[in-house]
Amino acid sequence: MRFFFAGLFILFFLLTVNAFSAEKGPEITVLEFHKEKISFVSKALSARTSEIKSLDPNFPGNTLHSFHGAFIGDLVSKDVENLTLLSADQYMAFFPMDFIREKGAMLAWSENGRGIPRTRGGPLKLIFEKKDSLHPSANAWYVTALIPGKGQGVPLRLVKGDVVHLVSGEEYLEPGAVLLDMLVPVPKGYRHTPLGSVGKQEVRGFIVEDLLKRKGLSFDTMILKSLAGRDLHLERRDIEGKEIFLFSHKDGVPLSVPCGGPWFLWVPPQQYPQLAEKLPNPDSLFFIHEIVLE
């Protein structure tokens, strides 16, 4: 009998949590970039629910769909000039806010009265009310984070236990930093404003092993935390004796999030093909802001 009542209590608790979650509605993580850190702010979207009746540009057909979501213009302050969206698969989309408001960009979580499944870009995807002259790649799927602005110049956090070491991108002026001319990898995605140069560019940063030695930090496991996508776990043997790079600047300018910043990991694929295969992109992990050492 005691187990019976315990089971009823657990069932009641689960139902209560589910009801609360359903009432609270979906959330988006808004990343606020400060001088020394990034704040992760959860913002409920259901309080600003709107509806768009539209074709789904990623699927064929002539039937209008009813999308419920929140207009991005209602989620950010009026002084924001541009905006970056990040997805769970490290896809990014970068827009001027004037374009976002003009086209009626919405973060949608419901399609024809049902939650949007992952096979159709959910649980949260970008839909535009006005689609004229809009490239299909602008319709980002699996959206997890919203960044007012470009997000530049934030130090890398090296965390071991209770101690946090901040690594400023300006430290490339110190001994141990590296400078390379290379074809710089960039995140897949949509950029309303083109990146510009597509040839070799100068990137600045550190060899990971050298940076940790200079800070006097040892580890068995390294967890690289990205603003989008899963954390990357590497063992000491993955790093030791290898020229694996962390970059923070391109052509002398701090990396923006649309360019893979504030930091990105680069593994030369021809030198370390097995390690490169662990990365979500062919040779890179983008949007890094923190490394935890265990």
Q: What is the number of residues in the chain? A: 294
Q: Nearest CA to 143 among 281, 18, 30? A: 30
Q: Residue 208, SS3?
A: helix
- Using alpha carbons only, give the angle 237, 239, 241 rounded to the nearest 5 degrees: 90
- Residue 61, pLDDT score: 80
d(CA 276, CA 282): 6
Q: What is the pLDDT of residue 195?
A: 65
pLDDT value of residue 19? 34
Which pLDDT value is given to residue 175? 61
Contact 111, 53 (CB under 8 A): no
d(CA 228, CA 245): 19
Q: CATH homologous superfamily for 156-293?
A: Oxidoreductase, molybdopterin-binding domain (3.90.420.10)
| Residue 259 tokens, joined | 């360019």
pLDDT beneath 50, residues of the chain? 2-24
Q: Report helix, strand or coil for 269.
A: coil
**How do strand 105-111 and strand 114-115 relate by DSSP bridges?**
antiparallel
Give pLDDT, residue 114.
Answer: 93
Q: How far apart are CA 258 and CA 95, in angstroms?
A: 10
CATH topology identical between 20-148 and 156-293: yes
> Tens digit of pLDDT for each residue in 110-157?
999 999 999 999 999 999 998 877 888 898 999 999 999 888 888 999
Domain 20-148: CATH architecture, name and number where available:
Alpha-Beta Complex (3.90)
Q: Would you state the pLDDT for residue 14?
A: 34
pTM: 0.85
What are the structural domain ranges in the chain? 20-148, 156-293
Q: Which residues are paired to 92 by β-bridges?
A: 86, 189
